[in-house]
Amino acid sequence: MPELPDLTIYADNLNKALAGKKVRRVEYHQRGKLNVSDAELSSAVAGATLAGVERAGKQVAFRFGNGTVLRVHLMLTGGFVLTDSGQLDRLRYLVLTVTFDDGSVLAVSDEKGWASVALNPGDERDVPDALDLTVDRLQQLCRKKPRTLIKPLLLDQALIGGIGNAYADEILWAARISPKSPAGKLPPEAVRALAAAIPQVLEDAIAELRKRHPDMVSGEYREFLKVHRPELQTSPTGARIIKENVQSKRTYYTEEQLLYQ
């Protein structure tokens, strides 16, 4: 599933390719999930100019000049495709297509059909984005969910926006905190280390993706991760990588990471 660094690059590239273009038509292909009727979607988007594209947590938001917002959650296997109207018949598993006046097309496809599209989803709850999370807010979350293990807390999109399974492992390794530590047991110095590791790991990953895969609008690239890679046996510091499920999530960590109990 794409995570914050991937989605940041997607949004940047989609914005560069599509911002300022006028929508000729939009089609929902009866796959995935849509929160309104086809007619309501078409009425809101057709004829509007795309003002900008941005990441919103683990979603990508398309903002139009008429005030309409369309949010796409790619879920596990969804992806974006930039193409033109003459190539659409080559695409499979279409969820949504947006055709612009110049003939360019933005498509959302998903083999499993889990991707969701939401028109004007409304104000999000007061959920901080991972890149904006402060030490104080993280401490508050740990106090609010003291028995929750720290990895599931990082993954909870109702608490923190944008972090997924792979980058949670990278962040916890960077902070040297065991994923099995209850959030309420983290001492202040561990919370500070975690708060520092979150933007450091995510921003470093964004920079790596921009360098290695500058044009990406789909796919996940993990070849630069330090612990969350199936082929790795040891961390960059030489510690053995332990691979096991933590509350149903495949987790990669080392004995360098302290277990707070």
What would the pLDDT profile of 150-174 be if each residue is shown by its tens digit?
A: 999 999 999 999 999 999 999 999 9
Give the 3-state DSSP-derived string for 207-246, with helices as H, strands as E and coil as C.
HHHHHHCCCCCCCCCCCCCCCCCCCCCECCCCCEEEEEEE
Main-chain dihedrals φ then ψ at residue 110, nearest 5 degrees: -160, 115
d(CA 142, CA 89): 50
Residue 67 exposed, middle or buried by CB count within 10 Å (0-12, 13-18, 19+): exposed
Pick the CATH number of 130-254 from 3.90.228.20, 1.10.8.50, 3.30.390.10, 3.40.50.720: 1.10.8.50
Looking at the chain, the whole-number percentage of residues with pLDDT higher than 90 is 96
Shortest CA distance to 128 belongs to which of 198, 183, 178, 228?
Answer: 198
Model confidence at 132: pLDDT above 70: yes
CA 90/CA 102 separation, integer angstroms = 19
- Residue 154 has a pLDDT of 98
Distance, in Å, from the CA atom of 97 to the CA atom of 26, rounded to the nearest integer, reads 6
Could you tell me which residues come within 8 angstroms of residue 233 by beta carbon, excluding any fewer than 6 positions away?
Answer: 240, 241
Residue type, 100: F
* For the chain, percent of residues with pLDDT exceeding 70: 99
Residue 125 has pLDDT above 80, yes or no: no
The answer, yes or no, to whether residue 256 has pLDDT greater than 80, is yes
Where are the CATH 1.10.8.50 domain residues in the chain?
A: 130-254
In the predicted structure, residue 126 carries a pLDDT above the cut 90: no
Looking at the chain, the domain(s) classified CATH 3.20.190.10 span: 4-119
Mean pLDDT of 209-235: 97
pLDDT band at 89 (very low <50, low <70, confident <90, very high): confident
Backbone angles phi, psi at 64, to 5 degrees: -110, 160
Please give the angle made by the CA atoms of 75, 79 and 82, to the nearest 5 degrees: 155
The matching CATH number, chosen from 3.10.20.30, 3.90.1300.10, 3.20.190.10, 3.40.50.10490, for 4-119 is 3.20.190.10
Half-sphere exposure at residue 14, Cβ-oriented, CA atoms within 13 angstroms: 28
